Structure formats: C-alpha cells, structure tokens
Amino acid sequence: MNRYDENFEKRFWNNVDIKSKDECWNWKLSICGSGYGQVRVSKPTRSKVNTHRVAYELFFEHIPQGAHVLHRCNNRRCVNPNHLYLGTQSNNTDDYMKESGWHNKYNTKFNEKDVSLMKRFKLAGFTYNLIGELFGHYGIGVAKLINERR
Ligand SMILES: [Zn+2]
C-alpha cells in the first residue's frame, strides 16, 4: 500500500535541508517552473511529483483524493511537515490552527499511529531529538516510546 519504500524515504530526507521544527526545510534538488521541488517516484510510473506532497505522504501517510497540500509558510520549496496542511486553495492559516490536530499532540498521549511514524523517521535516519521536536516531545521520551513498542 505504501508508495514509497524505505530507501526512497531515506534518499528523500537526505535531499532536504532539515532544520528545526519551525524553520523551512528546503528541497535541495530540482525545482520545477512553478517553484515547487520535484522528485521522481517509481510507482506507479516513473513520474515526477511535487516534493511537498511526498513529504506530506511520508509523514502523515495519506492525501485524500482531490485535496491540496498547502504551505503555511508560502515557501514552495519547503517540505517541513509542520508547514504543510491539507485544504482547498481558499484555506487560510486560521483554519489550519483550528482544525489541525498537530498542536493537540503537545498535550495528548501518542497513539499507535504516532509511534509508528516516529519509528519510520528513526529508520530514515532522524535523531530522537529531532523526532521529538517534530512531535512536541522530548527526545528521550521518543526513544522510550519507540523501544517500548517494538
Ligand atoms: Zn516552510
């Protein structure tokens, strides 16, 4: 079901200028005419897709049909999952802040899905601290979650 294998995921994040949770993470390779990063994917064809959509899928797993992946930061090269959200072209930042589950994660327990995402990020070479920043959790806490639920 997953379009991307582990190697793809690793290579993908290697080509991203990964910074802190709130900064833009720019795609380091090719940029298409409209300013979005692009990458070739093997499935279903060797087609080019926009990197921010790939980043969203790698992180949150699924883009509902017809949905757009939008940038909060207006930087089209950016693939920081924190800066990406689903919506229509008319969504604005206020809607994002209200509807996003992201901010709730700071105060709620992590579910299985969160933990499995953390594991995938670990496999992709992220440090516990960076994963912790992404999820609003301490690095040591992330390590504990990942290792407890192997
Ligand atoms: Zn950004």
Instruction: Please tell me the distance between residue 79's alpha carbon and the centre of ligand 1 in angstroms.
Output: 7
* R_g of the chain computed on alpha carbons: 15
DSSP designation for 67 = P
* Rounded distance between C-alpha atoms, residue 19 and residue 92, angstroms: 24
Q: Where are the chain's structural domains?
A: 1-100, 106-150
Instruction: Please tell me the distance between residue 35's alpha carbon and the centre of ligand 1 in angstroms.
Output: 13
Instruction: Please tell me the distance between residue 44's alpha carbon and the centre of ligand 1 in angstroms.
Output: 28
Summarised one tens digit per residue, pLDDT across range 67-95 is 889 898 999 999 999 899 887 655 444 44
Instruction: Please tell me the distance between residue 145's alpha carbon and the centre of ligand 1 in angstroms.
Output: 28
pTM over 0.85: no
Instruction: Please tell me the distance between residue 22's alpha carbon and the centre of ligand 1 in angstroms.
Output: 8
Instruction: Please tell me the distance between residue 16's alpha carbon and the centre of ligand 1 in angstroms.
Output: 12
* Rounded distance between C-alpha atoms, residue 16 and residue 76, angstroms: 13
Summarised one tens digit per residue, pLDDT across range 8-27 is 888 999 999 998 888 999 99
Instruction: Please tell me the distance between residue 18's alpha carbon and the centre of ligand 1 in angstroms.
Output: 11
Instruction: Please tell me the distance between residue 60's alpha carbon and the centre of ligand 1 in angstroms.
Output: 16
* Non-local CB neighbours of 89 within 8 Å, separated by 6+ positions: 68, 70
CA 107 to chain CA centroid, Å, is: 20
Summarised one tens digit per residue, pLDDT across range 27-42 is 999 888 889 999 987 7
Per-residue burial over 123-139, b if 16 or more Cβ lie within 10 Å, else e, is ebebebebbbbbbbbee
- Domain 1-100 class, CATH top level: alpha beta
